[in-house]
């Protein structure tokens, strides 16, 4: 299956982009010799060149270096958000679907309320309450995605609990907890895992959006959304200051969505 995926040039390119960005996050010093914080005011707003691939900002800081080092901040927040949404959403959906009755109805009405609120707006409300920081952005994005995971997990649980092997397990005297852990959970997770892969790209964009709006890491810490925001006032005369970090962000989001789409297609077969 993996070999078949890698035979697709666009998918292979998407994997290459993701692997490079992971390298940025893990070992940024291997990709650039510039500091993301030190600048040279004499080189303020230098255009893209062989020396500065993305040009420099108003303080003369290398924008490619800031984009590379910003990968750690953005990707860490993204993974934390997906883990929070996956863990809590899966648990909520499992409890609702397996319990049934009034508990299911009550839990899913709450989930419906969360689904009715735009996820970015909900994330902004959460981070406004908790305070502005990258960790709080991760928590906010994770909380805003819980409802989606809960609904998918519940649907899977409801389809599994009516299978013959589950009834057979009850007939053999296996308790509810045993049935849930041995049969329901393992056979319900595939769709939720596929959703988690899809949510990675969405979470990257959400984290960057909140950073762009000023809810995330404070300057001078590099963060992808903040890099785009810092250059927006100069986009008319120095467009690279905002456009090139934005293009890098867009490429990463598109690559992650392409990979997640391939997983979803494999799951649907």
- CATH number, domain containing residue 211: 1.10.3720.10
**pLDDT by residue (tens digit) across 168-210?**
888 878 888 888 888 888 888 888 888 888 889 899 999 999 9
Q: Answer whether residue 197 is part of any domain.
A: yes
Please indicate, yes or no, if residue 222 is contained in any of the structural domains.
Answer: yes
Dihedral sign for Cα 88, 93, 98, 102, please. positive
Domain range spanning residue 240? Answer: 2-21+61-268
Q: What is the pLDDT of residue 31?
A: 95
Q: pLDDT below 50 — which residues of the chain?
A: 1
pLDDT of residue 141: 93
Task: Report the domain count for the chain.
Answer: 1
Is 37 a member of any domain? Answer: no
CA distance 44 to 42: 6
For residues 151 and 142, the answer to whether their CB atoms sit within 8 Å is no
Note the pLDDT of residue 267: 58
Enter the DSSP assignment of 36: S
The whole-number pLDDT of residue 111 equals 93
- d(C-alpha 115, C-alpha 201), whole Å: 19
Q: Is residue 135 part of a domain?
A: yes
pLDDT of residue 23: 96
Determine, yes or no, domain membership for 33. Answer: no
Residue 100: its pLDDT value, please?
84
Looking at residue 4, what is its pLDDT? 56
Which tokens belong to 40? 């040279």
Whether 53 is covered by a domain: the verdict is no
pLDDT at 190: 83
* pLDDT attached to residue 5: 54
pLDDT given at position 132? 85
In a domain, 55, yes or no: no
In a domain, 42, yes or no: no
What confidence score (pLDDT) does residue 225 get?
A: 92
pLDDT of 269: 58
Dihedral sign for Cα atoms in the order 182, 184, 187, 189: negative
The CA–CA distances, whole Å, from 102 to 55, 106, 156, 161 equal 59, 6, 19, 17
């Amino acid at each position: 299956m993996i070999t078949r995926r890698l035979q697709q040039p666009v998918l292979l390119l998407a994997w290459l982009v993701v692997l490079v960005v992971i390298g940025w996050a893990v070992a940024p010093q291997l990709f650039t010799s510039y500091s993301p914080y030190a600048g040279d005011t004499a080189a303020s707003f230098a255009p893209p060149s062989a020396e500065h691939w993305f040009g420099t900002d108003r303080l003369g800081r290398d924008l490619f270096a800031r984009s590379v080092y910003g990968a750690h901040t953005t990707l860490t927040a993204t993974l934390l958000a997906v883990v929070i949404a996956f863990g809590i959403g899966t648990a909520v959906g499992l409890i609702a679907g397996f319990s049934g009755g009034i508990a299911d109805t009550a839990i899913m009405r709450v989930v419906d309320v969360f689904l009715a609120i735009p996820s970015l707006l909900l994330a902004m409300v959460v981070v406004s309450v908790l305070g502005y920081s990258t960790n709080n952005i991760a928590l906010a994005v994770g909380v805003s995605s819980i409802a989606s995971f809960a609904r998918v997990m519940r649907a899977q649980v409801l389809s599994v609990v009516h299978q013959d092997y589950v009834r057979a397990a009850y007939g053999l005297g296996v308790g509810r907890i045993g049935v849930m852990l041995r049969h329901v959970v393992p056979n319900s997770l595939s769709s939720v895992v596929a959703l988690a892969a899809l949510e990675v790209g969405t979470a990257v964009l959400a984290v960057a959006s909140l950073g762009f709006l000023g809810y995330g890491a404070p300057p001078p810490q590099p963060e992808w959304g903040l890099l785009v925001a810092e250059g927006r006032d100069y986009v008319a005369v120095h467009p690279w200051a905002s456009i090139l970090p934005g293009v890098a962000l867009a490429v990463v989001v598109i690559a992650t969505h392409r990979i997640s789409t391939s997983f979803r297609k494999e799951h649907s077969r």
